[in-house]
Structure 1
Amino acid sequence: MKAFFQFILRSMAAFSVMTVVWLVAFFGFSQAFLLASLYSIIGATATYYSLKGITTYRYAKDNGLTRKEYKFISTNLQEAKGKISRLQRALLDVRQFGNARENMEIITTVKKIYANTKREPARFFQAESFYYKHLDSLVEIAEKYAYLSSQPVKSREMNDTMRDSRHTIIVLGQTVKKDLRIMLNDDVDTLHFELDVAKRSLKKPKNSNGRVI
């Protein structure tokens, strides 16, 4: 939602610049209509991308990242978004009732890792194994499993392969849960520290006015 509002603001600023440049070029400097239009488009484009660059730089800085790191993470997140959509489609295509709960847990966990990284890009480095290995493996195996499941006739070899694939999906599901726990370790440590501080504060003696001594 924040990105959408930023896009609207950049677009409004670019449109304002385009209008002013066109009016100044056409009426102030008596430029031809097409030339004034060209100047206005160049001004609007420069304004839009300049504001986008400034916004990106500030956001990256606020998250403790360089502009290059933020661009790198954004590219990986864009790729991961497509992979997660494929994973969800593959797992939901498998209709076996016994697999439904496990499939939903995997989808929920994967989406949670993505959402945490989207909200705080620096967390990407805490989940590199997920983005570089585990997600790719999940997508590949889940899609093959869904394809084999959809076949009306299955050989003994196909059934064996499906059983092995299903076992691997379950193992990878546990692995991505560990990825999420690793990502949240810092939050847990911070919470423990804050709880310890709060407990010590509550245990401190107070004077007659109720103030901590």
Structure 2
Amino acid sequence: MKSFFQFLFRSFAGASTLVIVWLVSFLAFEQTFVTSLLYGLLGGVVIAILLKWYHRSQFLRENGLSRREYQYIKKNLKEAKLKINRLQKAMFRTRSLSNMKQNLEIVRIANKIYAITKKEPKRFYQAEGFYFKNLDSLVEISEKYAFLHSQPAKTPELTHSLQDTRITMNRLADTVEKDLYAVLEDDIDNLNFELDFAKRTMIQSPTDHDNKGR
């Protein structure tokens, strides 16, 4: 949402600069209409680029990242989004009511990790296990499971393979849930600290009140 408003601001600033530069060039410096318009377009583009550079620099400072680190993370997030799309398609190809709830939960967690790290790229390093190992395993196994599950004839061997694959997916679901907790670890620690502080304050308050009464 913040990036959207920044885009609107850049667009507004660029358009305003275009109009101002065009008017000044055309009226004050008596340039031709076309020449003034070109100056305005150039000024608007320059302002938009400068603001985009400023917003990007501010974003990197807030996340404590260098431009090289951000490009590295951005590249991996782009690849991860494609993998999550594959995961989602594979999960929904398996039309099994018994597994539907878990499939939805796996997709939800994967999308949650992606959304958090896209919004705050510095958390990417807390989710490296998810991006470089667990997500790949999930995609590969879910696609294999969807393929096997779609076969019309269920032989004993096929049924056994489906059961083994499902067991592995269950374990991976637990692992991915731990990946989400790893990404949220700092938030959980901060929340626990604030809760402990609030509890101590609530315990001490009656005593402080009694002392004041004396």
TM-score (ref. length: structure 2): 0.82
Deviation of 1:136 after TM superposition, in Å, equals: 2.1
Give the aligned partner of residue 150 of structure 1.
150
The separation in 1 between residues aligned to 2:141 and 2:29, in whole angstroms, is 65
Map of 1:209 onto structure 2: 212
Tell me the distance in 2 between the aligned counterparts of 1:37 and 1:145: 60
CA contact (8 A) 1:77 1:114 kept: yes
- Report the Cα offset of residue 188 of structure 1: 2.6
Q: 1:18 to 1:210 in 2, by over 3 A?
A: farther
Q: Secondary structure at the match of 1:95?
A: coil
Instruction: Give the equivalent residue in structure 1 for 2:179.
Output: 179
* 2:108 aligned residue: 108
Count of paired positions: 211
Structure 1 residues 28, 150: CA separation in 2 closer, same or farther (over 3 Å shift)?
Answer: farther
Identify the residue that residue 121 of structure 2 maps to in structure 1.
Answer: 121
CA distance in 1, matches of 2:51, 2:71: 16
Q: CA deviation at 1:145?
A: 2.5
Unpaired segments of 5 or more residues in structure 1? Answer: none
2:140 aligned residue: 140
Instruction: Tell me the residue number matched to 2:42.
Output: 42
Report the CA distance shift for 1:121/1:33 in structure 2 as closer, same or farther (over 3 A).
Answer: same
Task: Please report the TM-score for the alignment, with normalisation by the length of structure 1.
Answer: 0.82
Q: Which runs of 5+ in 2 are unaligned?
A: none
What does residue range 1-213 of structure 1 map to in structure 2 within 5 Å? 1-153=1-153, 158-204=158-204, 205-206=207-208, 208-209=211-212
Return the offset for 1:159.
Answer: 4.6
Q: Which has the higher helix share?
A: 2
> How far has the Cα of 1:158 moved from its partner?
5.0
Identity of aligned residues (%): 48
Contact kept in structure 2, 1:56 and 1:67, CA below 8 Å: no
- CA-based RMSD of the aligned residues comes to 2.7
Contact 1:60 1:67 in 2 (8 A): yes
